[in-house]
Amino acid sequence: MRTELEREYVDYVSVRLPHLHRLAYLLCSDAHQADDIVQAALTSLYIGWKRAAGADNLDAYVNRIVVRRYLDERRRRWAKVLLGDAVPEQPSNDEHGLEARDELVTALKALPKGQRAVLVLRFLGDMSVEDTADVLGCSVGNVKSQSSRGLAALRSVLEAGRIASVEGDSRWTSES
């Protein structure tokens, strides 16, 4: 039944790919890094598909792989920086022309990494406080406080962005 397994994998991944890409992108704010994370995570999912397909909550399981990959990636990049290979953490993505249009992305990027990760995992990844804590390797209390601080910060950044966009280029006027 291995071919059937592969078909299942293809079907599952085809449907979930946009969501996982979004998750990775919002975690790292970099289109190429997001692709690398998704590629690595889903390749490892392929190898372990038979086991994974039997998971109680497959979506949560796969979200978790993506997040772990993101954390690995960060560690790897950090190591690179230490070695003197200057890899910018948040390279400009102006060539995509997409994120500039979304004030939420801009606001997210302005958040400390911990807060950003917590918000993305909880509200895009639909992970519980406990799961978020588990995958990020911190306490439940930490997730809760990061979450509320992140939300507050996001709110204030969005308010400020709103004012700036109204005063600035009218093309970027927000919808709401």
Partner 1 sequence: MDERELRERFDAIGVPPSRVHVGALVAEGRRRVKRRRSWQAAGGAALAIGGLLVVPSVVFHPRPGPNLSDGVPVASRTASAPVSPAGSVPAAPCVMTNLPLPKGFTSVSVVAVDPTGRYIVGNGFSGQNFLPVLWTDGKPQALPMRGESVELSAVNSQGVVVGLITENNKDYTFRYQNGRYTKLRTPAGSWRVYPVPEINTVGDIVINAEPSGNTGGKDSIALIWPAGATAAMKIALPDGANVMAITDDGTMIGTMYKNGGAVAGYAWDAQGRTHKLTTPSGQTAAAYAGRGDWATGGLWPRESAVRWNLRTGKLTEFKAPADADLAPAMDGLGPGEKVNAKGWVVVSGYVMRDDGPATLPVPTGLRAVAKDVSDDGLVVGQTVNAADTVVPRTWRC
Query: Does 155 interact with partner 1 (rule: CB under 8 A)?
Result: yes
Binds partner 1 (CB under 8 A): choice among 75, 76, 101, 113: 101
Tell the smallest beta-carbon distance from residue 83 to partner 1 (Å). 26
Total residues in contact with partner 1, by rule CB under 8 A: 51
CA distances from 105 to 39, 69, 93, 110, 137 (A): 22, 21, 12, 9, 25
Binds partner 1 (CB under 8 A): choice among 43, 90, 173, 174: 43
Contact 29, 109 (CB under 8 A): yes
Tell the smallest beta-carbon distance from residue 85 to partner 1 (Å). 22
List the helix and strand counts (H, then E) for the chain: 8, 0
Tell me which DSSP letter residue 96 carries: G
Contact 172, 165 (CB under 8 A): yes
* Window contacting partner 1 (CB under 8 A); options: 71-79, 102-110, 128-136, 163-171: 102-110
Give ∠ CA 155-74-153 in degrees, rounded to 5: 10
Contact 41, 66 (CB under 8 A): yes
Binds partner 1 (CB under 8 A): choice among 27, 34, 66, 136: 34
Positions in the binding site for partner 1 (CB under 8 A): 1-15, 17-18, 21-22, 25-26, 31-32, 34-35, 38-39, 42-43, 46-51, 93, 96, 98-99, 101-102, 104-105, 119-120, 123-124, 151, 154-155, 158
